[in-house]
Structure 1
Amino acid sequence: MHPQPVTEDLANHFKKVNDFRSHIYQLQHAWDSLALMAQLSGTGSEMEETRGAFNTISNDVLRHLSQETLHKTAAQLSSKAFEIINLLLRNLFERTADIGFFATDNDVREYLENQAADRLDAEDQHNLEFRFQEYQKKYTVYENIVLFDVQGHLLHQLDETQTTLFHYHPIVELAQQSTEPYVERFYETEMNGSLHKSLVYAHAVRSKDGNRILGVLCLCFKFVNELDTIFSNLIQPHDWTIGVLLDEKRQVIASSDPYQIPLGIKLCVDTEQDWFISRFSGREYLCVTKQSEGYQGYLGPGWLGQAMIPIEHAFNQSIREMVNNIDEAILRKVMRSPLIFSESLLNIPKQAANIQSKLNQSVWNGNIWQSNYVNTQQKNFSKSLLSEISHTGHKTQKIIENMVSELYQTVVSVMLENSSFYAQLAVEIMDRNLYERANDVRWWALTHAFRSLLATPTVDPEDKRKMADILRYINSLYTVYDNLIVFDRKGEVMAVSNSQYEHLVGTQLTQEWVGRTRSCSSTQDYVVSQFEQTPLYNDTHTYIYAAPIRHLDGNSIVGGIAIVFDSTPQFQAMLRDVIPRDKADAPVNGSFTLFVNEQLRVISSTHPDFAIGESFDLMPAIAKLKESEQLFDIAIYQNTYYAVGARAAYGYREFKSEQDNYRNKVTALIFTPLGREDEINQRIEAEAQVIHNKFNPSLLLQSGDDSQEFATFYVGDSWMGIEARFVREAIDEDQLRTLPESAPFIAGMHTYRDQVIPVIDLARMLGHPHYFTDYRQIVVIEDKSASLKFGIFVSALGEIPYLSGQQIQPMNTFFKGASHNPGIAIANIAQNTMLTLITAQSLWEKVLNARAQPQAEQALV
């Protein structure tokens, strides 16, 4: 897949982007007016280059912000479409195993054999009814169980009101002729005036020797109910997204909002694009289609998941709820990460600052020109105009910075949302998987052979062998288990499925869950061990599910069955399936996932540092999450920032619900890397040392009778000034030539208007040997009375305020009776704001002293 460009029609719906664009347009109109006024008044300030540069960078940011706004919504739709089809597919995979196993059930075989021999009686009917009822009680995903004889007569169905299947239904012949492990068909039936949908799995029931077909068994999956469950968990009430499932003909067979997208209609789909626009019933939708990735070789019926949202509501979601709870300092750091932002994006604020610095230079030079060559009346107007030009530049820069901040936060919020989505997907997959384990153990506890053999006074070796054969057969079909164990009422192991655990036969099980198994009161009850190390799983951590095996009369417990979940590879597979993916649908490098239990112990992890069973201390806040609650944050681990999504499991159907006695809160955590802490800190530190714009218009004081103008500038953090009449202009550093054997603070020589002038590195003179700027300028100073002309390096330009004589205090007033530092003064501008004033003569004397004493480096105090 390749990112698609944002079309103009689509961009019209980006409210936040369009708000920024509107502000930019308003400022462009202001620039137009200011340019005209500057041209008419002759301020000496050139703005065309600045306007063009600001316009270019604004459009660049708007383009990026539009693309990320679209990507954010498309990513949300992609996640939902992915979950619709893949959660369903995993569920259906379990159904393919169920039908194959149930078709070998001895009770079903005996019923069909008796029917063929015309030996059926009321007890046979009752036993089959009981068997079907018990199966549905465990595997509540089925709405009906249907049995046909070999001729196609419908012998029995659990729900007599169903009309999906009937005598001589085509699926009977399909199942008998099929060489596949199962037959899977989707049917729609009119029931009570409404359309009923069912996904049916069928399998031929064969004699024990496999030579004869006795009949056909069908399991009818709760298709509508399952899709409603997926949709309700996926799409919240305030969400305008619509989830749909499409069949192989691209017709809608399930919809989260049938009033907008009705069942039966044919929709446009496109699995090759990141997103596409579709029109239906006079409305445009942004859509994402996903096909199944398959699961353990099972590809499903060829259906598609699609998520779609009306265009007018697609981009109204705020990122604030995602980032408001994130620590602001950490968020600011992450927004400088080269891992998630390109160098060009990271440099946009610097580029805007450089443009503003260039504008400041133009305005500053305009002010200098006005101060030296224009009469007072025109000067006041022109200086006000120049001040407004500078203000407009600052406003433009601020809007660009706000747009960039919105852009950065949008990208970070997408990563947080992705982590949150994959955390939800992880707990959905886990609970749906463990739901099947609770079903399996209760169903296998009803195995007729186990119930009859354990009811005998003594279980001889032949009986144990029979039980072991059954366990091995079950385990061969259900490979998620490391071992299956049958034990008697005292806890003695009678049989195992895995030969590696043969040593357990004859030993006594003393684990606490064994005692709880004996306390189960019905065939619906089961117990689960703690997630702990156990010799039943090679002394590693797992869950063990157990259920009592009851006497055939149902009145007493004769033993139990325990199934040892193969937790290490199974949980690993689940976590690998929810590793976050990038725009190219590849796993995000450096991301990792975990399952953590309520005691903050690791159940499984894809990161080697978090071992199974160890304490997870990185995010203790997850312990406070209630069932179904989520958390997203930015965490630091091993010098790396991560977007973290956490979701507490909430069960599936009756599993871990109010109807279930079993409770076990597990939290899934998804860690997506956002950047290395040291790299980000180094970048921020370097950027902090770069001085761009220091204009503070609030410090501009009005002129008075005894006031004079001072041109100010910054050297490092020092604010300094010189009488404006001695300043010619500020120029760019582009032709500097160094001088050998010169004083350390003589930077070199620079060409200025066909002359070569020395340039003083004032930072070194002040004792600031290290400072940085992307836009270092030279202020040209001239004192014609003393025949002086030279330049000084400055970090940034300041204001050109009027200062009265009362504000200025020469340095010798602080050092009575001393001629220390003549020509140096301090101006108290405002509270905690002082301006150091220098003269051209005092600076030049420092240069002369340096020539006379080349080894002496004196600081200007």
Structure 2
Amino acid sequence: MNKELVKKHEQSLLRAMTGVEQCQGVLSRLDRQWTRATLTGKINCSRIAQTLIDFIISTQDNFTALQKNLVDILVLENTQKVILEIAAVAQVAIDILKRNLFERTADVGFLATDDDIVRFLSCGNDETTALARVEDDTALVPLGDETSGFADSRAVDRIEERLREYRDKYTVYNEIIILDTDGRVRAHLDRDNAVKRSDDPLIAETLAAPSYVETYRQSDLLPGRGEALLYSQAIKDPVTGAPLGVLCLVFDFAGEMAGIFENLKNFSADTVILILDERGRAIASSDPVKAPVGRTYPSSLRDDFAMTQLGGEAYLSKTLGTKGYQGFFGLPWNGQVLKRVATAFQNGTNGHSLDEAAIRRNAIFSGRLIQVEEASENVLSDLQLVVQNGEIMAAKKSIQADASERVEAQALPHVLNEVKKIGDQVQHVFQTSTGGLLKLVTSSRLHDVQFLAALAIDIMDRNLYERANDCRWWALTSDFRRMLEKPSLPEADQDRMRGILAYINSLYTVYTNLFVYDRDGKILACSNPDEQRQEGRVLNEPYVAETLAISDSQMYRVSAFEASDMYEEGGVARHTYIYNAPITSLAREGTVLGGIGIVFDSTPQFLSMLNDTLPRDGMGNILEGSEGMFVETSGKVVASTNPDIAPGDDIDLAGMFCQLSSGQFSSRLLSEGDKLYAVGCAHSAGYREYKRDGAYVNDLLAIVKVRI
């Protein structure tokens, strides 16, 4: 924390720190008492105790410096606590968003190569072919107002139904648009969107781009809708590579941000959370009344914090850029959190009963807390020395023959008594202040671990939501459905199936293998060449039979978290989840032909999620003594950053939080020998419809443990 920056705003901060102001008032009163004691000593005892009085004055000078130092430390610690809390929220707000958007780049890359979409545009771009394919009873409809070409209305209906199926699975999109190379809209989903063609430069940019294009602004693709977040990619002929058109996915940015803001509000009261673009303009706000979207807000990524005005009130603000996700940073956006200064420092124990003695005994004190303790002890030692020397001196002088010295010796105890009272009060002030600091830091850590645990489980739910979507969508691949209709799979079809799976796997790198199996559970093709040894094997696992028993394209099945030789390393089966969906017939609705299984690369992926949530020092290293884990409510470990705890192990720690239900979180202190930990836990709440619609139940806990 930049001390100069805190000093610059100290007066504004102090006014909101009632506890520190009270401490400052008590110290000022003690300083005045000290001055009076010194004057009394000078007037009444100067002949016999001048050296002692000089020592009292010297000790007071030390006290004055300590008084200032203590207030500075209290202001710094209180400010740092608040800034660390809002910084964590700002970081999470932008990083959670970017994690989600990373998945969108894979989605648009895959969907742009979808066979049905490619065929739809290939036929529509060739007018003769298009007309030749039209059946006698099929109506011909214009492609748009500015073209003489026609498209099969049934083909449009079919492709829009396919897009609708996609959107039903990936509910993060509120519109999907297919355009030809001239910008004419060939198909789209939102009936309230009146777009027919586009002159947006986005079309040309996307056709010229090597992969996806990410755009956030107004577009004639969504007339009258304001700014929108679009992911676009060129649709190309798979043989010649010639561009056929453009696919646009319109991300539900408002819905996504509303969900992020709602989750974060539980951990950051009296705050406003913003997403800012590269100009500092708000594109999303948790409180659009106080902080409207479209307004530019001061931000500095280089400063520890800033002070700003919002609605005539002072706010502390913290702005952070994304840490990125798997190399993806996306558009240059930042997260900003503003916290109202007037209520920022209303510190409490967050409902926890804190044992100060245990904290003093076992907590790792910060350097500043040790400094406060040592400085107070030095002052008290000096005061005690003054009293002891004075008492000895008074006793000696009281028996001497000189009458004036006897009078001063009789007056000296009154001065010493005043000094002793000051010492007792100084001790009380410092014990109260350091005890308060200890409780403040401990309470903050308990708040932090709750937040981090909730963040970890939210990241997990969001990630696995995508896995449930992926398997269901890929099961609808038309080539797979046509191939599985055949009584046996020709070698050319098997190679084609492997190629499709490998292409998907190259975009979605969180899987070690994708595989297709038939009605008998026999594996027909794998995406990973190293796993093609599995081809021909018949799977007897329960998840396969369960998958083959469902025909609804919205349904899926997930294996238990267990060791599987489909996810082995060095010949050793590892624990993972395998997501599955049925592949159904194109010609015979409801007939199941087989299934697709996708093997989640759980070991590195879960560890990455956990490591991303653990607290770090100024160098970016995870704080020593910190660990995280995902655990089933039974105590079975899904993942752990502690190398001594492996997936599949059972732990007792889950029992501490077994009473939590969906979406709940808690924290507590845990002593292990002479070490003290803050332990936070959060119960899975699902994401969007995932684990909320009854299709899949998977009760999990995230536990974060941090030494304090």
CA distance in 1, matches of 2:314, 2:221: 33
CA distance in 2, matches of 1:326, 1:660: 40
CA distance in 2, matches of 1:338, 1:367: 41
Tell me what 2:612 maps to. Answer: 577
For CA contacts below 8 A with separation 6 or more, give which structure has more relative contact order: 2
Identity %: 33
Query: Match of 1:624, SS?
Result: coil
1:569 CA drift (Å): 1.4
CA distance in 2, matches of 1:508, 1:238: 52
Kept after mapping to 1: 8 A contact 2:551/2:584: no
Tell me what 2:180 maps to. Answer: 149
Q: Which of 17, 20, 42 is the matching residue for 2:23?
A: 20
Tell me what 1:671 maps to. Answer: 705
TM-score of the aligned structures, taking structure 2 as reference length: 0.88
1:256 CA drift (Å): 0.8
Does 1:176 find its partner at 2:207? yes
1:166 CA drift (Å): 4.5
Map 1:706-855 → 2, pairs under 5 A: none
Q: Which of 262, 275, 289 is the matching residue for 2:292?
A: 262
Tell me what 1:815 maps to. Answer: none
Tell me what 1:431 maps to. Answer: 461
1:176 CA drift (Å): 1.0
From the superposition, tell whether residues 195 and 99 of structure 1 become closer, same or farther in structure 2 (CA, over 3 Å). Answer: closer
Q: Which of 549, 558, 563 is the matching residue for 1:533?
A: 563
Say how many residue pairs are matched.
669
Kept after mapping to 1: 8 A contact 2:258/2:286: yes
CA distance in 2, matches of 1:356, 1:334: 29
Amino acid paired to 1:511: E
From the superposition, tell whether residues 121 and 319 of structure 1 become closer, same or farther in structure 2 (CA, over 3 Å). Answer: same
From the superposition, tell whether residues 394 and 186 of structure 1 become closer, same or farther in structure 2 (CA, over 3 Å). Answer: same
Tell me what 2:349 maps to. Answer: 320
Kept after mapping to 2: 8 A contact 1:579/1:587: yes
From the superposition, tell whether residues 347 and 523 of structure 1 become closer, same or farther in structure 2 (CA, over 3 Å). Answer: same
Tell me what 2:134 maps to. Answer: none
CA distance in 2, matches of 1:126, 1:113: 16
Q: Which of 144, 154, 168 is the matching residue for 1:123?
A: 154
Map 1:167-206 → 2, pairs under 5 A: 167-179=198-210, 181-188=211-218, 196-206=226-236
Kept after mapping to 1: 8 A contact 2:117/2:159: yes
Does 1:449 find its partner at 2:463? no
Kept after mapping to 1: 8 A contact 2:175/2:190: yes
Amino acid paired to 2:422: T
When structure 1 is superposed on structure 2, of 382-391 and 499-508 the one drifting more is 382-391
1:576 CA drift (Å): 2.3
Does 1:216 find its partner at 2:217? no
From the superposition, tell whether residues 282 and 140 of structure 1 become closer, same or farther in structure 2 (CA, over 3 Å). Answer: same
Amino acid paired to 2:7: V
Kept after mapping to 1: 8 A contact 2:581/2:595: yes
Query: Match of 2:295, SS?
Result: coil
Amino acid paired to 2:161: F
From the superposition, tell whether residues 353 and 447 of structure 1 become closer, same or farther in structure 2 (CA, over 3 Å). Answer: same
Q: Which of 130, 133, 158 is the matching residue for 2:189?
A: 158
From the superposition, tell whether residues 195 and 551 of structure 1 become closer, same or farther in structure 2 (CA, over 3 Å). Answer: closer
From the superposition, tell whether residues 619 and 513 of structure 1 become closer, same or farther in structure 2 (CA, over 3 Å). Answer: closer
Does 1:334 find its partner at 2:362? yes
Q: Which of 303, 308, 313 is the matching residue for 1:283?
A: 313
When structure 1 is superposed on structure 2, of 249-258 and 517-526 the one drifting more is 517-526
| Deviations, residues 722-757 of structure 1 (Å, cap 9, x unaligned) | xxxxxxxxxxxxxxxxxxxxxxxxxxxxxxxxxxxx
1:359 CA drift (Å): 3.9
Kept after mapping to 2: 8 A contact 1:628/1:648: yes
CA distance in 1, matches of 2:58, 2:250: 72
Map 1:202-601 → 2, pairs under 5 A: 202-236=232-266, 239-316=269-346, 318-321=347-350, 324-335=352-363, 337=364, 343-362=370-389, 364-365=391-392, 368=395, 372=399, 383=413, 386-520=416-550, 522-538=552-568, 539-552=573-586, 553-601=588-636
From the superposition, tell whether residues 359 and 606 of structure 1 become closer, same or farther in structure 2 (CA, over 3 Å). Answer: same
Amino acid paired to 1:6: K
From the superposition, tell whether residues 366 and 633 of structure 1 become closer, same or farther in structure 2 (CA, over 3 Å). Answer: farther
CA distance in 2, matches of 1:669, 1:523: 35
When structure 1 is superposed on structure 2, of 30-39 and 570-579 the one drifting more is 30-39
Kept after mapping to 2: 8 A contact 1:53/1:355: no
| Deviations, residues 45-80 of structure 1 (Å, cap 9, x unaligned) | 733234333333232222111111110111111111
Amino acid paired to 1:576: N
| Deviations, residues 219-269 of structure 1 (Å, cap 9, x unaligned) | 000111111111111123981111111112221111111111111111111
Tell me what 2:74 maps to. Answer: 65
CA distance in 1, matches of 2:625, 2:492: 54
Kept after mapping to 2: 8 A contact 1:325/1:633: no
CA distance in 1, matches of 2:487, 2:285: 57
From the superposition, tell whether residues 329 and 603 of structure 1 become closer, same or farther in structure 2 (CA, over 3 Å). Answer: farther
CA distance in 2, matches of 1:369, 1:163: 103
| Deviations, residues 313-367 of structure 1 (Å, cap 9, x unaligned) | 2222x14117x334554323234x3566565344234324313422432553366
CA distance in 1, matches of 2:241, 2:224: 42
Q: Which of 94, 97, 100 is the matching residue for 1:88?
A: 97
CA distance in 1, matches of 2:698, 2:372: 45
1:136 CA drift (Å): 0.5
Amino acid paired to 2:608: A
CA distance in 1, matches of 2:354, 2:515: 49
When structure 1 is superposed on structure 2, of 603-612 and 300-309 the one drifting more is 603-612
| Deviations, residues 586-605 of structure 1 (Å, cap 9, x unaligned) | 43244332222222122222
CA distance in 2, matches of 1:105, 1:23: 74
Amino acid paired to 2:169: K
From the superposition, tell whether residues 340 and 49 of structure 1 become closer, same or farther in structure 2 (CA, over 3 Å). Answer: closer
CA distance in 2, matches of 1:229, 1:449: 36
1:14 CA drift (Å): 2.0
1:567 CA drift (Å): 0.6
1:555 CA drift (Å): 1.7
Query: Match of 2:7, SS?
Result: coil
Amino acid paired to 1:562: G
Kept after mapping to 2: 8 A contact 1:370/1:382: no
CA distance in 2, matches of 1:106, 1:282: 57
Kept after mapping to 2: 8 A contact 1:164/1:188: no
From the superposition, tell whether residues 161 and 370 of structure 1 become closer, same or farther in structure 2 (CA, over 3 Å). Answer: farther
From the superposition, tell whether residues 355 and 406 of structure 1 become closer, same or farther in structure 2 (CA, over 3 Å). Answer: farther
From the superposition, tell whether residues 115 and 131 of structure 1 become closer, same or farther in structure 2 (CA, over 3 Å). Answer: same
Amino acid paired to 2:441: V
Amino acid paired to 2:579: Y
1:133 CA drift (Å): 0.8
Q: Which has the larger radius of gyration?
A: 1
1:438 CA drift (Å): 0.6
State the superposition RMSD in angstroms.
2.9
Map 1:591-670 → 2, pairs under 5 A: 591-618=626-653, 620-637=655-672, 640-657=675-692, 659-670=693-704
Kept after mapping to 2: 8 A contact 1:187/1:197: yes
TM-score of the aligned structures, taking structure 1 as reference length: 0.73
Tell me what 2:136 maps to. Answer: none
CA distance in 2, matches of 1:391, 1:94: 67
Kept after mapping to 2: 8 A contact 1:50/1:359: no
1:115 CA drift (Å): 1.5
CA distance in 2, matches of 1:123, 1:391: 94
CA distance in 2, matches of 1:611, 1:371: 77
Map 1:8-47 → 2, pairs under 5 A: 8-9=10-11, 10-42=13-45, 46=53, 47=56
1:409 CA drift (Å): 2.8
